[in-house]
Structure 1
Amino acid sequence: MTGTNQNFARYEALCQNLRIELIDLLHQKGTGHPGGSLSCCEILTVLYFLKANISPQNLKDPARDKIVLSKGHAAPMLYLLLAEKGFLPKEELKTLRQIDSRLQGHPCAEKLPGVEISSGPLGLAYSAALGLTLGDRLQGNNGSYVYAILGDGELNEGIIWETAMSASKFQADHLITIVDYNHVQLDGTTQQIMPMPELSQKWRAFGYHVICCDGHQLEQLCEAIDGAKQHRGQPTVILADTVKGKGVSFMEGQNIWHGKPIGEEEYQKAIAELRGDKDGTSNS
């Protein structure tokens, strides 16, 4: 066990609330990426609240852990977690994707504390995450870890595998890669767009230690991260099996919800589901 059942219940409740806040925010703004934000909710929650040594108080500490959201389109969920953790005022969330806002459509390290690497062009932030890892090694920050969150559609990018080769060569065992393995990308399923069978074997062939888990189960995610930290001599990838649009039935597994605006009727249905309203309508 990596924590008490009571602790997990607390953060499970937080994840449910974050999903409600996400749908509410994206509906208000008429823009954003709901599907991939919903699928990585537990992954980001575990990192920010249970596993990573990162807080607003230690941002200037070179020995801190670093979290890199390589799948930068899931920025709305990242911003919600940063606000929950105290990196930014919650009131600022209302400025999402507005002119001059720090909360751009993709995370910007120059504008927002807590964002280690600007991401958006898929794959680029993963190579930077490896650079952060090797930089920590050179500086003697041997207790620091870099957590990189990738999308499975992002694995289509060649730079992912170039980075993987380098991480293996340099035995970057303080780089912990988590794949938000939701099986759906912008234009369809990952199987339709670019089949990648035997994904765990592919990562092993690139010299990685591979751990598979349910990406919506907090305890499994914690155990996977603990296992990655205990492994030496190889980088670790955690294939976290998730559902795109998790928590909203009509969004789950549907590529159209990669970036579709949420209309009023859809908003009412989604909020009702997430809040467990018995009549299927929200009173928001």
Structure 2
Amino acid sequence: MNTEELVELGRQLRVDSVRSAAAAGSGHPTSSMSAADLMAVLLANHLHYDFERPDHPGNDRFILSKGHASPLLYSAYKAAGVVDDEELLTFRRLGSRLEGHPTPRRLPWIETATGSLGQGLPVGVGIALAGKRLDRAAYRVWVLCGDSELAEGSVWEAAEHAGHEHLDNLIAVLDVNRLGQRGPTRHGHDLDAWARRFEAFGWHTVQVDGHDVDAVDRAYREAAVTRGRPTAVIARTLKGRGVADAEDREGLHGKPLQDSDGAVAELGGAGTLRVRVQEPPPTRSLHTVGTGQVELPRWKPGEQVATRDAFGRALAALGTARGEVVALDGEVGDSTRAEAFAKEHPERYFECYIAEQQMVAAAVGMATRGWLPYAVTFAAFLTRAYDFVRMASVSGSGINLVGSHAGVAIGRDGPSQMGLEDLAMMRAVHGSTVLYPCDANQTAQLVAATADLDGIRYLRTSRGGSEVLYGPDEEFPVGGCKVLRSSGRDRMTVVAAGVTVPEALAAADALDQEGIQVRVIDLYSVKPVDAATLRGAAEDTGCLLTVEDHHPEGGLGDAVLDAFTDGRPVPRLVRLAVRTMPGSAAPDEQLHAAGIDAESIAVAGRLLVEEAVVP
């Protein structure tokens, strides 16, 4: 498009942003209006995209990181001819595809859910990494950011990572409109402040008047030919641009314009301009070819193997069989054993350093391109990235998260390293799967199983060695459990997972010597839970005791309790969990101090079945 056409397209995008927010009675038109010219130039002159084939391997990728400016995005879709005016005016209504903040669950042209600010650029880094190192395709990744969200630390994790990886296929467009939700942003219209920050991370920067369409066009062209560095186009804009009562005024964030009809008239009225977006070039995206047959490592019952060791070897084997598997590490691969994958498949291993938000975001970005990511760190450190996990679920993303060094069983490192909240937070994620294996063969089987699941999958592994209980050909369906000990005389059922399974078996042995028969269940699938087996055990034995290396809130005990929320009577239930703040001690001392070792289980079992203890 020429200058006049670009100006007209920008005007139309503003008008449609005002109209859609007015129809909804809510939304963010002023934030959309500031970036309208930036979007117009991109859509008309620089984006290469086939809307009929959103999965085209040559498509450029666009992320609206300032997701509250969704009226602008939907107005652009109207200009591209994929959303009509009638649908545009369904914005934010029940059943509409045009949600308040965009999600790929509704529209196929959206890469990732945004609205939780500071997420678009980190996910864009993941997509750009896929383009450079995995797809080896020439597509560009465009991310439109607001200046308010640049206060998020995740943005600077992304900026540093992009600079370190020399992602010259990544272009961040910064809409510096000076105003946030409650007033001016930190740096206002000081474009130099933003330039200094991005340049410090190795970015090429271009400062521009964001309402001069020719200048914006030149800036995009400069970004496209920059080699060896990502580019930040830093654009000075005005919130509410084009409407005198709204332009550069505070107090209008997140509100439709009071006189929307007047604003539309002032902007020149509704338009019907259509844009023919440039087609992507023919592109082939070749994933690494695997064998197709997973040959998992095998261990003999009785061996002592840490589940983290089993995980590393199983992931490497899975990577050999399936060429779409990639691994991302938070600089702890030697401890989590993800380094086993790195040694066998270095071209599909990504070191994200100690930047867990960027690690999870990169996994989400790679998943959008058809890769199968496993993001691995200590269970405790995934709490830092939880908002990215939550938003990945909103996106409908399929990623695997692995948390090692869980619970007090890690020993002397102390509470800062102990994942004691991870089961609860992962169970709370919509549509998630949560798995906690207790031995090596079980771990290997579950690593392979997670590759074919949907949604967010979480696997919890342990630091210390544990006895292999199961044979290598044993099967562990997701949603199942294993009854390790059972008889017709059972007085109670102990439900355990991970490190507490051998403790439960030892307690059962001790109680058996006292004439108390105990059923033991290995509940390796914490979500979904095997409700039928738990209900049967409750009916048979009359009482349940859960034991977990986790805080009592939201973990194994609550998962078991959820099996009895269908209205039937709840059995007698005792829950052993980590209820105090641990310190530094040996693993066995930690388990005893927390009251989740074999001795503690046996004591609780005696009380639960009301057996007298004879000295």
TM-score of the superposition, structure 2-length normalised?
Answer: 0.42
What is the DSSP-based 3-state SS (H/G/I as helix, E as strand, rest coil) of the residue aligned with 2:27?
A: coil
Q: Which residue of 1 aligns with 2:61?
A: 66
CA distance in 2, matches of 1:186, 1:240: 19
1:196–1:143 CA distance, 2 compared to 1 (3 A): closer
Does 1:274 find its partner at 2:267?
yes
CA distance in 2, matches of 1:20, 1:151: 20
Partners of 2:18 and 2:256 within 8 A in 1: no
Bigger relative CO (Cα 8 Å, ≥ 6 apart): 1
Does 1:245 find its partner at 2:218?
no
- Pick the aligned partner of 1:203 from 190, 198, 205: 198
CA distance in 1, matches of 2:102, 2:139: 22
Does 1:161 find its partner at 2:156?
yes
* Structure with a larger share of its residues in helix: 1
- Bigger Cα displacement from structure 2, 120-129 vs 146-155: 120-129
Q: How many residues align?
A: 268
CA distance in 1, matches of 2:95, 2:261: 30
Q: 1:269 is matched by which residue type in structure 2?
A: G
CA distance in 1, matches of 2:12, 2:78: 13
- Pick the aligned partner of 1:219 from 214, 221, 224: 214
- CA RMSD in angstroms comes to 1.9
Deviation at 1:89, TM superposition (A): 2.9
Q: 1:206 is matched by which residue type in structure 2?
A: F
Q: 2:228 is matched by which residue type in structure 1?
A: G
1:192–1:223 CA distance, 2 compared to 1 (3 A): closer
- Bigger Cα displacement from structure 2, 132-141 vs 180-189: 132-141
CA distance in 2, matches of 1:238, 1:112: 27
CA distance in 2, matches of 1:197, 1:143: 30
Q: Which residue of 2 aligns with 1:115?
A: 110
Q: Which residue of 1 aligns with 2:178?
A: 183
CA distance in 1, matches of 2:94, 2:265: 31
Does 1:35 find its partner at 2:30?
yes
Give per-residue Cα distances to partners, 1:109-135, cap 9 Å, x unaligned: 121121111111001121111111111
Q: Which residue of 2 aligns with 1:258?
A: 253
Deviation at 1:191, TM superposition (A): 3.7
Deviation above 4 Å: which 4+ runs of structure 1? none
1:176–1:57 CA distance, 2 compared to 1 (3 A): same
Q: 1:101 is matched by which residue type in structure 2?
A: S
Deviation at 1:240, TM superposition (A): 0.9
- Bigger Cα displacement from structure 2, 152-161 vs 40-49: 40-49
What is the DSSP-based 3-state SS (H/G/I as helix, E as strand, rest coil) of the residue aligned with 2:95?
A: coil
Partners of 1:63 and 1:136 within 8 A in 2: no
Deviation at 1:197, TM superposition (A): 6.8
Give per-residue Cα distances to partners, 1:222-266, cap 9 Å, x unaligned: 111111111111111010111111011111112312112333xx2
Aligned runs of 1:34-183 on 2, under 5 Å? 34-183=29-178
- Bigger Cα displacement from structure 2, 137-146 vs 163-172: 137-146
Q: Which residue of 2 aligns with 1:231?
A: 226
What is the DSSP-based 3-state SS (H/G/I as helix, E as strand, rest coil) of the residue aligned with 2:251?
A: helix
CA distance in 2, matches of 1:192, 1:8: 30
Deviation at 1:11, TM superposition (A): 2.2
Larger radius of gyration: 2
Q: 2:267 is matched by which residue type in structure 1?
A: L
Question: 5+ residue gaps in structure 2?
Answer: 270-615
